[in-house]
Amino acid sequence: MTREELLEKVKTARPSVTVVGLGGAGCNIATWIAEKKLAGGKIIAANTDAPHLSTMTRADKIILLGEKLCKGHGCGGFPERGAEAARENLDEIREELKGSNLMFLVAGLGGGSGTGAIPVFAEAGREAGALTIACVTIPFTIEMIRREKARNAIKELAENCDSIIVIDNSKLREVAGNLPLKEALAVANALVGSFVKNLTDTITQPSLVNLDYADLRAVMERGGISAIGIGEGNGENRIEKSVSQALSTPLLDITDISTAYGVMIHIVGGEDMTLDEVAIAGEQIMQKVPYTKRVIWGAKVDPALTGSVRVMSVLTGVTCPFLSGEIKETAKAPVQVPKEIPVEIIKPIREAMEHMAKAQEVSYLNEKIHKAAVLSKEK
């Protein structure tokens, strides 16, 4: 085989990657990825809100969902309308996804457009034969109605997605608790965006330790509910600190990481990162997840990180109380109020939100009791 033939083979062997941003939050994440220059991938922004969609100038393709149904005005927070709007564009969606090997669906769940449309896109991705990975954020614990919408959407996604990466906004307090709300939510978007970009870069570009598409498929295919964790350390024992943090604080409440089906670790360090450090990372991972079926890892050198190490973990096939219906009591961390906001403003808002949460919880319990009574009578 000549060098020219080999280079041509490399081009055709490179996986075709499609990133689809759905709804307002999903489109914003897709824009973040586009601004960071996604390697060898196509970015699609899809929404029912025409004014918001018109600002997505960096996307390779924009799709106004449900033009006849929603007339470009959004879908009012109703997932059913979001799903119906996506089905209106089903032929166009299928055409855009043709030939994709790997598809990322990104959305913030709990509203209408992204929540309703993402299962429709997932089904189209499965039909196209793509490895389909959904990367979604779910609302804060206090947003009980929106969380219920998110839960239902994830259950639908499970029918057609290979893996569903879930980031719980409530867990953001562990990595961004001191930030103002707007900045903290931007962190969630950046986490989803950086996960998609780093993963795509890793399988399409040369790295210190490469991951290829087959490696990714082995861990993510039929991976189910998945969680990501991040860790960064510097100074003495920096690699141990980073790996421990990435594995011990995933951004989703999960039961036991040791039972994860698969684990993927991506390590990025400066030019001073040593082979010994990478080996220690591998040993530490196996101690934390001794029963996992598959472990893959990649490493990349970034001169900007000289002196520090950054680790991102992906745990697939995990059990999550939020999705299994279990109720898990956890110690509540103290609320951290940014100094810029006076306490006298925060206090009444917090009290009102707590009152709303209690009212919604009572309503939810009453509904459960009523259903149980009806079932008892039927028996």
Residue 54 counted as an annotated binding residue: no
Question: Do 273 and 301 touch, CB atoms closer than 8 A?
Answer: yes
Tell me the residue length of the chain: 379
Residue 223 counted as an annotated binding residue: no
**Residue at 237: amino acid letter:** N
Question: Do 263 and 313 touch, CB atoms closer than 8 A?
Answer: yes
Residue 160 counted as an annotated binding residue: no
Residue 229 counted as an annotated binding residue: no
Residue 26 counted as an annotated binding residue: yes
Residue 146 counted as an annotated binding residue: yes
Please list, residue by residue across 4-15, b when 16 or more beta carbons sit within 10 angstroms of its beta carbon and e when fewer do: eeeeeeeeeebb
Phi, psi of 49 (to 5 degrees): -95, 105
DSSP E strands in the chain: the ranges are: 17-22, 41-47, 61-64, 102-108, 131-138, 163-168, 224-234, 262-269, 294-301, 308-316
DSSP-assigned beta bridge partners for residue 164: 134, 225
Residue 25 counted as an annotated binding residue: yes
User: How far are the Cα atoms of 7, 89, 218 from residue 52, in angstroms, in the given order?
Assistant: 41, 18, 37
Residue 198 counted as an annotated binding residue: no
Reading the block at residue 213, the tokens are 């598409």
CA 84, distance to chain mean position in Å, is 24
Reading the block at residue 352, the tokens are 């009102």
Residue 24 counted as an annotated binding residue: yes
- Please name the residue ranges forming H helices in 54-112: 67-70, 79-88, 90-97
Residue list, annotated binding site: 24-28, 112-114, 143, 146, 189
Annotated binding site for GTP: 24-28, 112-114, 143, 146, 189
